[in-house]
Structure 1
Amino acid sequence: MNIDWIAKLRHLLQMTAFCLVIAAIHYAFRPHKPYEIPLVYSLAIGLPSWVLIDFGRHFFPSSRDTGWPEGFSGIALPLVGNVLGFVVGTWFADRWFGFSSWNLADRSQLRISIGITVLSALAMTYFFYSRGKSAWLQAKMTEMRSQASEAQLKLLETQLEPHMLFNTLANLRVLISTDPVRAQEMLDRIIAYLRATLSASRSTLHPLASEFDRLRDYLELMAVRMGPRMAYTLELPDALQDVPVPPLLLQPLVENAIRHGLEPQVQGGHITVRASTRSGPQGPMLVIEVNDTGAGLPATLPTPGPGQSFGLAQVRERLATLHGSQGTLELIAASAGGTSARVTFPLDSSQP
């Protein structure tokens, strides 16, 4: 039986304060009597009741939600504890003052005292019950905050930008009332995308086909936000579908194309993601291109930092880790406008 003695001390102080309030209420009904009498009776009844209930609940199976005994014991414990506390406390106080409460000539005052005691017992029981419930809810909120923080870090790690998700959910809210079928399709893609993203983040490599599937989910979500301003094409030969690649390698390139290429243009543009092979000095090379018809490369590329070429730097670092100098990322200005981001690394060394 594990007891949190700090919590018990806090409960003792709270119970003492509660008894002082009850004594003040008693005194208000009998101002002609010394305050010492209701004070002693209140403490003598309240503290034993608290001890019996707050310590007694540890001897019964308790609910995880409230820390309170489950079933019949949850009702019997406060009932028995309050009755015993009243009897023992009244006996002790009677001995203290040298008279019997049950022989009072003014029976109305006795009924008032019993009534206040009963109401006080109910209030005390509810107080500790609600405190247990509140503590459980607070613990759950802390746990949820911790999980939310971990999820947010995971989203940042995988380059899923929070503002993209929020904008997507805002669009989803509108579609629910205007186009339920399309809203259902969009919700399915959000679920599939998040599930696959979290799953992919736990592995080092996954098939190129899975990478293209994630891109399709992401581009469909972005298409809802941008509407007719964005179109895309994915070209993946059957022979390259099982080629293992790092998870989420291409998404930063697509995000970069949308943010710096399509969004600055009123008319938007088109994104093409294409996988192919070419010969290299040491064998076949896998080439993946992300082409856009957007605004094109600026005269000076922004310095890497938050929101500035961070995704490109991450792609380069991951390629260098896996393939050394043979893994490259090039940004090429397209002759007809737009930009091409080209990833190249050895095809053979990508095989498991």
Structure 2
Amino acid sequence: MSAERIDWSQLYYPGPTRRFTPQEMARAGQDRPSKTLILVVLTQLLCIVPALWALTTPTMRLPVFGVVGAFLILLLPLAAWCWAYPTRRRLHIAFLSATAFHLTLAVAVKSLDLPRESRFELLIASSVVFFLGSMALWVLTATRSSQISARLRELDERDQAISMALQLATAQVQPHFLFNSLASLQHWVSTGDARAAALLTELTAYLRATLPLFERRSLSLAQELEAVRHYLAVLQLRFGERLRSEVQAAPETLQASLPPGVLLTLVENAVEHGLAPKLQGGEVRVLAQVTADGRISVTVCDDGVGLPAPDPGPADPNSTRGVGLRNTRTRLQQLHGAAAELSLHNQASGGACAQLLLPPGPSAPL
């Protein structure tokens, strides 16, 4: 609805106009009220105590606060009910329940054998709590509805960002590698080179290992390593003796989860930026092991030309080198938050290393 239009239905049927589906509630409406919200509500309720204390006579304070307590006992489950599913219908059922209780209490007070002033004090206390409680229910329901809507927007934006990052990863790792490999394959087939059959086998295995994985948001290290092995096998066939590789992984690291293509990106960077500029080529080593603090360390090291001179290295974990590494850090954060890290550094013996630190075990199902 346009912000310029007045929703006249709010005058006779107030409450949030959006009705969430069960799927939306399961996705964004399962959290409980925060401790801060509970503290604020309790503080506001306590604020009426001095006012009621001042308005009532000493002999009527106990009955008055008894009425207030009974009303609060009714309002708390109604508030929890509206919180669990904030709709206009629930809000109005809560209103009607509070109204029925208030009217029943008014009839009961009127029938009591008490002075008129005492009955008036009880009715005033009941009316104050009824008014404040009704307003609180309306504010709670509207706030909760807005909270769930905002959370759904946030989740949609996150999913969109993850989807875009996944597409970027796919686009980055595959095209130039595939085009160059296919060009080599076409040339070898045309010239009758015996390496064509082996290249076709490894390229087919690489595609079989990678294409389905890019439809997912996470995969195990074992699956990623399979793709890396085929990727390096294709490159070794193309580059010959200029490229050597070694892949080792401790068995207890294989179930660690990471975004698809992350390790491929690091290996690709090691080859393209570390070894390709070096005339005699070199070696890429991939090692996965468990650290002393129980995390999974995956390193990709090469003995190539190393990182550019003005490099912040591990001292600045927020720095990035190109779209690939920036995209890698973003996707790691989306999957594991602060529990995952990526750092880069030059080796004293020459070349560079990239290190992934991952939490142990698989991530939550996505």
TM-score by length of 2: 0.48
Q: Does 1:225 align with 2:238?
A: yes
Q: Which residue of 2 aligns with 1:331?
A: 344
Question: Which residue of the partner structure matches residue 293 of structure 1?
Answer: 303
The aligned amino acid for 2:247 is L
Deviation at 1:294, TM superposition (A): 0.3
Q: Distance in 1 between matches of 2:309 and 2:169?
A: 29
| Change over 3 Å in CA distance of 1:175–1:190 after alignment to 2 | same
List per-residue Cα deviations over 1:114-133 (Å, max 9, x = no partner): xxxxxxxxxxxxxxxxxxxx
Q: Secondary structure at the match of 2:238?
A: helix
In 1: Cα distance, 2:230 partner to 2:361 partner: 28
Match of 1:242, as an amino acid? Answer: Q
User: SS of 2:307's equivalent?
Assistant: coil
User: Would the aligned equivalents of 2:278 and 2:305 in 1 still touch at CA under 8 Å?
Assistant: yes
Assess, with a 3 A threshold, how the Cα gap between structure 1 residues 237 and 348 changes in structure 2: closer, same or farther: closer
Give the distance between the partners of 2:229 and 2:177, measured in 1 at CA.
15
| Superposition pairs of residues 293-332 of structure 1, within 5 angstroms | 293-301=303-311, 309-332=322-345
Distance in 1 (CA, whole Å) between partners of 2:239 and 2:232 is 10
Q: 2:253 aligns with which of 240, 244, 251?
A: 240
Aligned residue identity for 2:299: E
SS of alignment partner, residue 277 of structure 2: coil
Partner Cα distance (1:264, 1:181) in 2:
27
Q: Which residue of 2 aligns with 1:148?
A: none
Match of 1:195 in 2: 208
Q: Structure 1 residue 346 and structure 2 residue 359: aligned? A: yes
User: 1:181 Cα deviation (Å)?
Assistant: 4.8
1:105-254 aligned within 5 A = 157-177=170-190, 181-254=194-267
Specify the code of the residue in structure 2 equivalent to 1:294: G
Shift of 1:218: 0.9
Corresponding position of 2:271: 258
Aligned residues: 193
Please report how far the alpha carbon of residue 196 of structure 1 lies from its aligned counterpart in structure 2 after TM superposition.
Answer: 2.4
Judge conservation of contact 1:319–1:327 (CA < 8 Å) in 2: yes
Confirm or deny: 8 A CA contact 2:181 2:234 kept in the other structure. yes
1:67 corresponds in structure 2 to: none
Matched, 1:267 2:280: yes
Aligned partner letter, 2:243: M
Q: Residues 348, 164 of structure 1: CA spacing in aligned structure 2 closer, same or farther, 3 A cutoff?
A: closer
Cα displacement (A) at 1:195: 2.8
DSSP 3-state at the match of 2:295: strand
* Cα displacement (A) at 1:193: 1.6
Alignment partner of 2:297: what SS? strand
CA shift at 1:347, angstroms? 1.0
Letter in 2 for 1:235: Q
Contact conserved, 2:256 with 2:296, CA < 8 A, in 1?
no
What CA distance in whole angstroms lies between the structure 2 residues aligned with 1:159 and 1:308?
14
Q: Distance in 2 between matches of 1:237 and 1:156?
A: 26
> What's the offset of the Cα at 1:174?
2.8
Cα distance, 1:332 vs structure 2: 1.2
1:278 is matched with 291
Note if contact 1:158-1:197 (Cα within 8 Å) is conserved in structure 2.
no
State the percentage of identical aligned residues. Answer: 38
Which residue matches 1:127? none
Gaps of 5+ in 1: 1-152
What residue in structure 2 maps to residue 77 of structure 1? none
How far is the alpha carbon of 1:237 from its aligned partner? 1.7
Cα 1:351–1:287 change in 2 (3 A) is: farther
**1:308 to partner: Cα distance:** 5.8
Q: 1:207 to 1:181 in 2, by over 3 A?
A: farther
Deviations 1:264-316 (A, max 9, x none): 11111100000011133xxx1010000000001111259xxxx9621111111
Take 2:168 and 2:178, find their aligned partners in 1: how far apart are those partners? 10
CA 1:275/1:179 → structure 2, altered by over 3 Å: closer, same or farther? farther
1:236 shift after superposition: 1.2
Which letter maps to 1:293? D
Alpha carbons of 1:266 and 1:329: their partners in 2 closer, same or farther (altered >3 Å)? same
After TM superposition, the structure 1 = structure 2 runs for residues 60-79 of structure 1, keeping only pairs within 5 Å, are none
Question: For 1:273 and 1:179, how far apart are their aligned partners in 2?
Answer: 33
**Which has more radius of gyration?**
1
Question: Residues 211 and 179 from structure 1, CA distance in 2 versus in 1: closer, same or farther, beyond 3 angstroms?
Answer: farther
- 1:51 alignment counterpart: none
